[in-house]
Amino acid sequence: MKVPKVGIEPTFPREHDFESCASANSATPATTIRFYLTNSQGSRELLMRLGIIGLPQSGKTTLFNALTRATQPTGTTGKIEIHTAVVDVPDKRVDRLAEMFKPKKTIYAKVTYVDIAGLDGSAGKNGISGALLNQLAQMDGFIHVVRVFEDENVPHVRETIDPLRDIQAMDSELVLNDLIAVERKLEHLAEEKKKGAGRDKTLIEREHVLFERLHEALIMEIPLRDVEISTEEEKLFSGFGFLSRKPMLIVLNLSEGQTAPDIDYPHQRSKVVALQGKLEMDIAQLSPEEAQLFLEEYGIEEPSLNRMIRLSYDLLGLMSFFTAGQDECRAWTVRRGATAPEAAGEIHTDLQKGFIRAEVVAYDDLMELGGMNEAKAKGKLRLEGKEYVVQDGDILNIRFNI
């Protein structure tokens, strides 16, 4: 399996997906892609992409370097710059499974982080530029780095430190871009109604009612994450991939020893976390042994980054299931609510096509009982069919025939 080098946009096999983003200058949704890593045996791995955004000099690249152990230069050039890297999702369950099975290989779930420079909270009436929007469109969610640290050598672009102001500025930029796209869509629907030909009139009316609802929210600067949308309605605009609908993790970037401000961010599919970006980057540049000694010296159980990575993974509505044996212990990524055949498909498409049943044991049961044989003897290793909804931490063995 090849992992792209930091700073190079990876070229993965592509698969069409519903979630995409239209340009704010168009009423037609653009085609998007779903990213996978695929190895020579045909096994594939879904890669979720999180865009790191924020105002200039907020510490975006510092956080990216901390997450990826990269050494990208910090500071701003005023240009659109993109850096990409794939990162393991820390999971102690994988470590314990490896201790139990002693496999030849241990593989963690992965998430892709993309450092996106270019947003400054001041998009004009035409919305975010096409090149930048294209990058934002490909993200499954955003990490908004908000400056809290003081540094006289690094002046704030708005002169003063005000985290809440900066959060609102970035949210407004995303909302404005969505508003422009919705207004153009409504204009397009009005033209369709007037012509009276082409698509089904009932569908046009349903879209019109929905986009009017979206418009009402956006005009009040309410992000689309906060708008209740049914599954059927979601399908009607999924091709637009509105930016303010994507999950948002707010990261308050502190200086060393600084106390985090109390930030109220009461939006759906959103979380707030505080960390010391520069310190985390310094820790990330150490060897694993040196990093462990540093953490022990300061009484830190784990880097804040680990918690942030898990939060971002959780925010996307993802979970892990495992395969375990002497050859390999591995965490696989699926969306919450995935069925056993869908989980099998994440391992290999042939397993989904020829799915018969899944042998399933819960992680906690396996750890408590001490092994697969013990789990089977106690009735905790069970067979599940096509309707089974996989739970976080399940260990699966897929029975299939093709």
Q: Where are the domains of the chain?
A: 14-245, 337-400
The class that CATH gives domain 337-400 is alpha beta
DSSP for 83-100 reads EEEEEE---HHHHHHHHH
Does residue 271 contact residue 250 with C-beta atoms inside 8 Å?
Answer: yes
Per-residue pLDDT for the chain (402 aa), expressed as one digit of tens each?
Answer: 333 333 333 333 333 333 333 444 444 454 344 554 445 455 555 678 999 999 988 999 889 888 888 777 666 555 677 889 888 888 999 999 999 999 999 999 988 999 998 787 666 666 787 888 888 988 999 999 999 999 888 888 888 999 999 999 999 999 999 999 999 999 999 998 888 767 888 999 999 999 999 999 999 999 999 999 998 898 888 788 899 999 999 999 999 889 999 999 999 999 999 999 988 888 888 888 998 898 888 777 788 888 888 888 888 889 999 999 999 999 999 999 999 999 999 999 999 999 999 999 999 999 999 999 999 999 999 999 999 999 999 999 999 998
Q: Which stretch of DSSP H or E encloses residue 110?
A: strand 110-117
> Which is nearest to 306 in space by CA: 273, 347, 268, 330?
273
How many CA atoms are closer than 13 Å to the CA of 289, on its beta-carbon side? 0
Under 8 Å CB-to-CB from 354, ≥6 apart: which residues? 400, 401, 402
Please return the burial class of 26, using the count of CB atoms within 10 Å of its CB with bins 0-12, 13-18 and 19+.
middle
How many CA atoms are closer than 13 Å to the CA of 4, on its beta-carbon side? 22
| Lookup: tokens for 371 | 């092994």
| CATH code that applies to domain 14-245 | 1.10.150.300
pTM attached to this predicted model: 0.82
The amino acid at residue 61 is T
| Lookup: tokens for 218 | 């956006």
CA distance 105 to 278: 33
